[in-house]
Structure 1
Amino acid sequence: MQFARLLHLVDSAIPTGSFAYSYGLESSLTFGLVSTPFALRNYLYSYLQQVGSAELPFINSCFRLAALSEGLQPVAEEYDAQLLVPALYKASAVQGRNWLKLLALFYPDGQMEAISQWFEARNIPPHFTLVFALGLQRAGCSLPELQAMYLHMLLRDQLSAAIRLGFLGPLEGHRLQHDFYTVFDHILAAQAGKEYGEATRSAFVLDAVQALHEDIYSKLFQN
């Protein structure tokens, strides 16, 4: 039953708002950073490597501090300070609030409202990465389960954006997603045991392209 619930939570129909965003892929295509299938593979690998080095250490720390102790505040403040692209900052908070609302409906005994209240009391946005880990820990997920879920969701959203932008066909996109699951073990092993103080950003060109998203004349996605 737990496995079935996890499948539901990673379903693309779950309304967290993630499908409204391309997280830099549309601007990468527009400005020529990605122009071939090979370049897309390189982009996805860099994207996932940065997710691993910059996001998974925060997930690890939040999972360990799920009791909402005061030790969580520096984690939340540090993550908030590291989101430098305004559009991504806003998207993270919107998706985090939507995620907590969904989990409160699915797991009424999990006291998900306490997570929202904790962030509100400290005037810190409930960023998606943080509340993703905090909420799923309360829902009974193990750390390896939610780490794999997180990587899957972000990879799926990127390839869905590539398909909707017309860069890939559906069959090709899903084959690429299947191929990239082999990268997950390497990413997870590289970040095993790391805490938020060891988080690093590694794809600076991607960060720059995300910031340029607002300069696109005509857009299909938000950033």
Structure 2
Amino acid sequence: MTQFARLLHLVDSAIPTGSFAYSYGLESSITFGLLKTPFGLRNYLYSYLQQVASMELPFINSCGKLASTGPGPELRDIVEAYDAMLLVPTIHRASLVQGKNWLKLLESFYPAARMQDLGAWFAAEELPLHFTLVFALALTRAGFAVADLQTMYLHMALRDQLSAAIRLGFVGPMAGHQLQHDFYAIFEELLASHAAKEYQEASRSAFLLDTAQVFHEDIYSKLFQN
């Protein structure tokens, strides 16, 4: 029960990792007319979550399995593969910022887990400290189950997108939270399809979203980073 409460704390929107500063293509999708209606938002969210599931969950699974062995050559392969699949420069930079913030946070929360050893290994190997990877590595080191982390990651992805939609004025708070409630129904489908995959099976599936993320920098006045 205490571990569940700790997990709830870590998914709290007030946790200072920086995720709420980014829209991950939502703002540019709205600005350039790719997203025009509430129904379109539903389609967008489904595509977004499908890409999160197919891309991120296999990496979380593979990183989670390294909790008992620690960093090594296999982790280097995982990091290099993930780094190569982040195609949008601004998303790449955001991942590094949030990865650094996340590890710093977990170091202060779980000093006995020696999170600093992870950071030291990444620095020594001169590898990028991406958020998704350090998210899984740090939390499994802290004793959380991989299955819970995958569900937690989907929750954070959905929550951040809908929070951005509300702050952009595209939907109201009530409608946004109704959407969040409705979309939890597809989590089991996404987890069943992707949660057992390894990082070699990870794939990107929402290429129009990638395009919207690239064009985010062309917005004249921005509420969010990308």
Alignment of 1:52-201 (within 5 A): 52-66=53-67, 67-201=70-204
SS at match of 1:79: helix
Q: 1:42 — aligned with what?
A: 43
Tell me which amino acid in the other structure corresponds to 1:109: A
Alpha-carbon distance in 1 for matches of 2:31, 2:9:
33
Q: Percent identity?
A: 69
Alpha-carbon distance in 2 for matches of 1:78, 1:85:
15
CA deviation after TM superposition for structure 1 residue 70, in Å: 1.7
**Structure 1, residues 29-71: CA drift from partner, whole Å, max 9, x if none?**
0011110000000000000000000111111110012311221
Unaligned runs of 5+ in 1: none
TM-score (norm 1): 0.99
Alpha-carbon distance in 2 for matches of 1:64, 1:70:
14
Alpha-carbon distance in 1 for matches of 2:8, 2:66:
25
**Structure 1, residues 102-135: CA drift from partner, whole Å, max 9, x if none?**
1011111111101111111111111000000000
CA deviation after TM superposition for structure 1 residue 97, in Å: 0.5
Alpha-carbon distance in 1 for matches of 2:103, 2:154:
19
Of the three residues 214, 220, 224, the one matched with 1:221 is 224
CA deviation after TM superposition for structure 1 residue 192, in Å: 3.1
1:97 touches 1:126 (CA, 8 Å); kept in 2?
yes
Given the alignment of the two structures, is residue 202 of structure 1 paired with residue 201 of structure 2, yes or no?
no
TM superposition outliers: structure 1 runs of 4+ over 6 Å? none
2:150 touches 2:195 (CA, 8 Å); kept in 1?
no
Alpha-carbon RMSD across the aligned residues, in angstroms, is 0.7
Tell me which amino acid in the other structure corresponds to 1:86: P
Alpha-carbon distance in 2 for matches of 1:206, 1:127:
20
Number of equivalenced pairs: 223
Alpha-carbon distance in 2 for matches of 1:122, 1:38:
46
**Structure 1, residues 115-170: CA drift from partner, whole Å, max 9, x if none?**
11111111111100000000000111001110111000111000000000000111
Unaligned runs of 5+ in 2: none
Tell me which amino acid in the other structure corresponds to 1:21: Y
1:80 touches 1:124 (CA, 8 Å); kept in 2?
no
TM-score (norm 2): 0.97
Alpha-carbon distance in 2 for matches of 1:193, 1:219:
38
Q: 1:5 — aligned with what?
A: 6
